[in-house]
Amino acid sequence: MAVEITSPEEVSPIRRLASFASRAPSAVPPPEVAPAPAPAIRVAVIGYGYWGPNLVRNFWDLPGCQVWGVSDTRESQLAQAHARYPAITTSLDYHALIGDPAVDAVIIMTPVSTHFQLALEALQAGKHVLVAKPLAASSEQAIRLIEEAARRHLVLMVDHTFIYTDAVRRIKELVDNGSLGQLYYYDSVRVNLGLFQHDVNVLWDLAVHDLSIMDFILGEAPCAVAATGAAHIPGQPVNMAYLTCFFRSNLFAHHHVNWLAPVKVRRTLVCGERQMIVYDDLEPSEKVKVYDRGVTVNGGPERVAKSMIDYRSGDMWAPKISLTEGLRVEAQHFVECVRGGRTPLSDGQAGLRVIRLLEAATRSLAQRGQPVETAIEPAEGQLAV
């Protein structure tokens, strides 16, 4: 039987297309489509005085975030904000900014006496909140804010800036991994000339920094405090104070704060049985120095009392510290917590622990340094950023 051979020219275009389709894969994957970027977190800043501009600057430069507006009671401050950031809304009416449905989060950088009312209004408006230190003027106010935020499933965070610095985080690592051994004492000095506050004393202004750092590093709450101080300027609050913190263990902490000092000092010593740390925040690079120095006690019966202690003097080393601004890390952490529903490192509970220490210190100050129990439960393990 003869076989008819058809030349390619005689095959119709439709038959050629059908033949190709039969050899092609059964399904062609669709082109990949990039996921839509998450909407920016819009923040409003209330208070554009001493610290407010730093917050605006860091949130402005943060990816995934938009500074929507700034409010202040002084037109001169708003003029500065508008000149630096023409795109943002400026307003003398903070109520309007809090109530703006476009705003996701409110940052409060105002005097301590205003923290509670502003934060409560923002939470009740459904906004996430970041508040300047201290969180509120009393533990009762702090508890009310914590409960309001929890009920509405909102982020409440306090501006404990220093715990977001790499220097403080590195110190915590050394303490947690046992490099220092058993801790003996924690000693800090935070003194300078000014800025005098009018609504709080020097403990509520400067010591709050050191108490928040201590709370973060040690993870252990003092059982009692004792405070002494003096007010040297008529009509002004206590401007210099000494605060001692007692722990259930043999640990001992001491803080010196002063608005009336000729020099600016920001130095902390953490002493352990194996190693000691000196943290100087004013150092440009080597902010943390670890000293392999200390004493060794030889308790053998053949040793007389005066020769039982041997002194050890080893090396000093400075760990590499990132100089990224702590406020930048804090701003990023706040945005991530808002976006992901996470609990902040410096949450309302951290703010409450510090306030309870300050309240006990205030009572001790009024009693000329008599120790006052804090009634603070031991702090649980810290969260990681």
* pLDDT score, position 31: 63
Burial of 144 (0-12, 13-18, 19+ CB in 10 A): middle
Token pair belonging to 319: 């760990």
List strands edge to edge, sheet with 240-246.
309-317, 288-297, 276-280, 260-272, 183-193, 252-258, 240-246, 224-230, 372-373
In a shared domain, residues 214 and 318: yes
Asked whether the predicted pLDDT for residue 264 surpasses 80, the reply is yes
Token pair belonging to 209: 């920094």
In a shared domain, residues 291 and 200: yes
* pLDDT score, position 1: 43
3-state class of 42 per DSSP? Answer: strand
Token pair belonging to 96: 């309007």
Asked whether the predicted pLDDT for residue 375 surpasses 80, the reply is no
C-beta of residue 63 within 8 angstroms of C-beta of residue 75: no
Q: Which of 127, 143, 162 is the last residue of a domain?
A: 162
Token pair belonging to 312: 């050890």
In a shared domain, residues 212 and 235: yes
Q: Indicate the number of domains in the chain.
A: 2
Reported as a pLDDT band with limits 50, 70 and 90, residue 286 is very high
Tell me which residue of 242, 261, 225 sits closest to 371, measured CA to CA: 225
Query: Using one digit for the tens of pLDDT, what is the confidence trace for 127-186?
Result: 999 999 999 999 999 999 999 999 999 999 999 999 999 999 999 999 999 999 999 999
Query: Using one digit for the tens of pLDDT, what is the confidence trace for 211-235?
Result: 999 999 998 999 999 999 999 999 8
Token pair belonging to 301: 């019966």
Asked whether the predicted pLDDT for residue 350 surpasses 90, the reply is yes
In a shared domain, residues 92 and 185: no
Reported as a pLDDT band with limits 50, 70 and 90, residue 301 is low
What is the C-alpha to C-alpha distance for residues 101 and 142, in angstroms, rounded to an integer?
A: 25
Token pair belonging to 239: 């401007």
In a shared domain, residues 139 and 239: no
Residue 135 falls within a domain, yes or no? Answer: yes
Query: Using one digit for the tens of pLDDT, what is the confidence trace for 19-49?
Result: 434 444 445 566 666 566 789 999 999 999 9
Asked whether the predicted pLDDT for residue 260 surpasses 80, the reply is yes
Asked whether the predicted pLDDT for residue 384 surpasses 50, the reply is no
Q: Which CATH number do you get for residue 155?
A: 3.40.50.720
C-beta of residue 204 within 8 angstroms of C-beta of residue 272: no
CA dist 354 to 136, 222, 274, Å? 10, 10, 29
How large a percentage of the chain has pLDDT more than 70? 85
Length of the chain: 385
In a shared domain, residues 156 and 225: no
In a shared domain, residues 167 and 177: yes
In a shared domain, residues 88 and 223: no
Structural domain span for residue 156: 41-162
Asked whether the predicted pLDDT for residue 3 surpasses 70, the reply is no
What is the C-alpha to C-alpha distance for residues 131 and 115, in angstroms, rounded to an integer?
A: 7
Q: Which of 121, 139, 162 is the last residue of a domain?
A: 162
